[in-house]
Structure 1
């Protein structure tokens, strides 16, 4: 393995400021400033004016969101926001994954001559929105997905009254998620028509927390206004100022008072998504949990149900990954530039997760279909070098009868085809995609670190956060770290046993996760990244070269600097 420093930056501040396109001075000023200068979003003002016009005409309000974490948090933002100013919603529909992605014609037709708002969908709902307009509806689209285009690249838009989609009309920042747009929409509604006696500051904090969770859950870039959403959301969650529903989830996962965006991404978002992946009504139930503003006996029970579904989802995902590996070998796709699998044993709600795991493992874009006969639906995940939406759009232009429906963006897609067209689709995808050039023998890192100042480095990392897509956690290299022996109690401790004197402690179900000890800090090496086996392979040395990210581990009021290890080598 060869290790290469991929940046010229010498400090965390310099690294992050470059990623954000700021000078170090501009970035430092941004860190000092409380709040954010909200950016102008084209046609947001018109959408709010349209909303108030419909309200004054006593039109009923119908809202259609999406089934994922972004769609559920969007639904909760709209529900809590309009409840706060006593505006009723006739119907707020959070679809099931089995409904497929996007506004349905059946829902659009029942709106009648009222107001229909789509959030986190709608930019491609040409047929459904046309049906709504034919019934006399006023339609507002709040979406962040890419629009359809003609062969010459001209954008095709639905016949909505107002469209807010930064990917269509934007020259400042275009990578909001649906929840971010929902927050900005409600915030502008609050600004324009709220009663003078209403203090909505606390409500805004509740709403921005949901926007932050949705932002991380939807994997949009951690830049510009998205950083403000997530940073504020983390602050609110740490002091338990979120909605009662979100607070019940925080209690369940035993969230620390030093939360990071990773807590949203790896603890909360999977839990929010899990119910809807396994049960048709799951997304609706979880959205209801997120929308709850008053504590009651059912909240914790519903949060527990979500957690149980998430554990089921984890087990089912492992089984599905094993099935995917077998099918890849059986269909001889292990060396192909695009992997396409279809099997009735793939649960539709897990298809996106499995596609992501396969894409990461085989380094190629992947689509997983759940089904083998008739109309089958799939989810795709891509690699950085392959624009999934553009690829499907090109195929759709060249072969109009191959794909029934599709949507998505560069990194992910949803798709529907007839099973009889599966092999044709696979052939065309593998023709048009290319193999990623990767070198598995090179590990890249960002910064050189010194273990003697690791606590101050941890503080700087936290100060410059949050981290996510486009601004990932900095990877450090620490040289010549000497392990320090401590008293370690056996995992199978029984009365009368004595502690062992060791420089590490083995943990986890497989006893392969290992925590190393050093002077003033610890290092956690997870089993999935190598763990104790990797340490054994280099001869269990007492001095290490360590590559990983930094965090402050909080436990029972004690704060310990910690390296989350990604690679280790013996110091030569």
Structure 2
């Protein structure tokens, strides 16, 4: 039997009745019993193979004392910054004073000038230009940036955002046929295209000019010389993740790539983009919502973007902030990622992403208010669907997948539009890479979310023969496949 001794100072004893001391002792004993029960529960769960998240304190090597003196910051704060990867005075200053840094030069993006030349040629010839975007926040904003900016230079610019259910992710042959039927001569992709090898080969066969703007990982294939990049057929490819791209920072989102292209285009034409200030705020929204690292240029963009959103926001976005109860003067990155972003995403998940784009395009307050209220309502529906779906997948993990190092969960009843959200929540709970698949037979689709230590895209790329379509980056992937290939993928 363990004995617990509670020592009170004489003064404290005089002030406190004996009954209070006993009460405190009982509370202490109750707390100790709870801790013991929790430990026993953890041991039981661990023995059954249930995943327990492990916490490890990083202690990267650096001269903390010197950094503290040089930067006039506390040693614990310097240690935290070093653990986050900032180990020199210069990188720490750049991180803490991002608003003072200039943005990187768009000219450093491989093919940026080439892409601008192709676009200029089609504008001069009066040709029709189709912009092909994506249905998430990054894709919607990328589409808006290109459509609105090119429309300053031409009245023959239109856009198409794939339907999540009908088209799936990215450009495909049906979309290309629709562009041809509409008389398009140039296709510009944004936030997609880098992995659309077959679709863009088809576009070139049909004599369409193609400009790809994207930020996702290029397709790789194994060969006798190791891994080789497989780039799509296009007249220009603007993507900082190309191996030979000299851009100094490759972790920007699709909207930033699109912004850089139109920025360079207007520079070349020696013209001012009348909506540039508005676009900076929108790029900040896309940067936060696409969950890219908030370092280097991304940190600069978000800092500047929050200022623009507070002073000169897009009219539709301003109405969405009002509908969600956000004070623009108190706006933070939290509001972008957890309030505004989910509302913009909800349209593409439940109905069509064009509603979010229409909100951004709205010029009258009445129309903007109508779209804003609709997006808020759609997001409420999406929350209910997500809660129910997460519960089902969580139960499946506990019953069948508790010991799997990578969770591959399949539930045909899950709405495919929320598979990525559910994967993210399961990943957070179990701290394991997670794929959530829905649909049946030849029409299984899904999304994956990963942890920092595991490059989900690279690991899954080794099994391309199992997928119909596949793309993404280290922390998130999307795919379609046949139901019969789920078990081989899980193994």
The two structures have a TM-score, normalised by structure 1, of: 0.68
Secondary structure of 2:357's partner? helix
Q: Comparing both structures, which one devotes a greater share of its residues to helix?
A: 2
1:186 maps onto 2:248 in alignment: no
Q: Deviation per CA, 1:298-350: give whole Å up to 9, x if none.
A: 211111111111111112111111111222233x2112111112122211110
Q: In 2, distance between residues paired with 1:51 and 1:237?
A: 29
* Deviation of 1:295 (Å): 2.7
1:23 maps onto 2:94 in alignment: no
Q: Comparing both structures, which one devotes a greater share of its residues to strand?
A: 1
Distance 1:306 1:28, change over 3 A: closer
Map 1:383-422 to 2 at 5 A.
Answer: 383-396=451-464, 400=465, 402-422=466-486
Q: Please say if residues 434 and 450 of structure 2, whose CA atoms lie closer than 8 Å, have aligned partners that are also in contact.
A: yes
Q: Deviation per CA, 1:526-572: give whole Å up to 9, x if none.
A: xxxxxxxxxxxxxxxxxxxxxxxxxxxxxxxxxxxxxxxxxxxxxxx
Q: In 1, distance between residues paired with 2:110 and 2:452?
A: 28
Aligned to 1:43: 111
Q: Please say if residues 278 and 313 of structure 1, whose CA atoms lie closer than 8 Å, have aligned partners that are also in contact.
A: yes
* Deviation of 1:411 (Å): 0.6
Q: In 2, distance between residues paired with 1:153 and 1:244?
A: 47
* Deviation of 1:373 (Å): 3.0
Aligned to 2:488: 424
Distance 1:130 1:21, change over 3 A: farther
Aligned to 1:545: none
Aligned to 1:140: 211
Map 1:68-107 to 2 at 5 A.
Answer: 68-83=136-151, 85-98=152-165, 99-107=167-175
Aligned to 2:377: 308
Map 1:123-202 to 2 at 5 A.
Answer: 123-151=194-222, 152-168=226-242, 169-171=244-246, 172-195=248-271, 200=273
1:122 maps onto 2:122 in alignment: no
Q: In 2, distance between residues paired with 1:347 and 1:43?
A: 38
Secondary structure of 2:188's partner? strand
Q: Please say if residues 69 and 218 of structure 1, whose CA atoms lie closer than 8 Å, have aligned partners that are also in contact.
A: yes
Q: Please say if residues 129 and 158 of structure 1, whose CA atoms lie closer than 8 Å, have aligned partners that are also in contact.
A: yes
Aligned to 1:224: 296
Aligned to 2:316: 245
Q: In 2, distance between residues paired with 1:75 and 1:142?
A: 11
* Deviation of 1:296 (Å): 3.1
Q: In 2, distance between residues paired with 1:189 and 1:163?
A: 15
Aligned to 1:261: 333
Distance 1:420 1:232, change over 3 A: same
* Deviation of 1:144 (Å): 0.6
Q: In 1, distance between residues paired with 2:347 and 2:127?
A: 33
Distance 1:266 1:6, change over 3 A: farther
Q: In 1, distance between residues paired with 2:150 and 2:456?
A: 36
Distance 1:3 1:68, change over 3 A: closer
* Deviation of 1:116 (Å): 0.6
Of 344, 357, 360, 1:287 maps to 357
Q: In 2, distance between residues paired with 1:50 and 1:368?
A: 40
Q: In 1, distance between residues paired with 2:355 and 2:156?
A: 17
Q: In 2, distance between residues paired with 1:68 and 1:422?
A: 25
Q: Deviation per CA, 1:235-270: give whole Å up to 9, x if none.
A: 01122x121111111222232313221111111111
Q: Gaps spanning 5+ residues in structure 2: where?
A: 1-34, 36-54
Q: In 1, distance between residues paired with 2:232 and 2:350?
A: 32
Q: Please say if residues 147 and 157 of structure 2, whose CA atoms lie closer than 8 Å, have aligned partners that are also in contact.
A: no
Q: Deviation per CA, 1:47-69: give whole Å up to 9, x if none.
A: 11111012222221011011101
Distance 1:260 1:16, change over 3 A: farther
Q: In 1, distance between residues paired with 2:214 and 2:101?
A: 28
Distance 1:359 1:46, change over 3 A: same
Runs of 4+ in 1 over 6 A off after TM superposition: none
Aligned to 1:325: 394
Q: In 1, distance between residues paired with 2:79 and 2:100?
A: 18
Secondary structure of 1:97's partner? coil
The two structures have a TM-score, normalised by structure 2, of: 0.79
Q: Please say if residues 122 and 141 of structure 1, whose CA atoms lie closer than 8 Å, have aligned partners that are also in contact.
A: yes
* Deviation of 1:35 (Å): 5.0
Q: In 1, distance between residues paired with 2:337 and 2:438?
A: 25
Secondary structure of 2:159's partner? strand
How large is the Cα RMSD of the aligned pairs? Answer: 2.4
* Deviation of 1:15 (Å): 5.2
Q: Please say if residues 122 and 143 of structure 1, whose CA atoms lie closer than 8 Å, have aligned partners that are also in contact.
A: yes
Q: Deviation per CA, 1:489-545: give whole Å up to 9, x if none.
A: xxxxxxxxxxxxxxxxxxxxxxxxxxxxxxxxxxxxxxxxxxxxxxxxxxxxxxxxx
Q: In 2, distance between residues paired with 1:28 and 1:372?
A: 47
Q: In 2, distance between residues paired with 1:189 and 1:269?
A: 28
Query: How many pairs does the alignment contain?
Result: 413
Q: Deviation per CA, 1:193-246: give whole Å up to 9, x if none.
A: 255xxx54x51111111111111111111122212221111001122x121111
Of 379, 390, 415, 1:347 maps to 415
Q: In 1, distance between residues paired with 2:208 and 2:137?
A: 28
Q: In 1, distance between residues paired with 2:80 and 2:149?
A: 37
1:363 maps onto 2:431 in alignment: yes
Decide which structure has the larger Cα Rg and report it.
2
Map 1:491-510 to 2 at 5 A.
Answer: none
Distance 1:134 1:329, change over 3 A: same
Secondary structure of 2:170's partner? coil
Distance 1:64 1:13, change over 3 A: farther
* Deviation of 1:181 (Å): 0.7
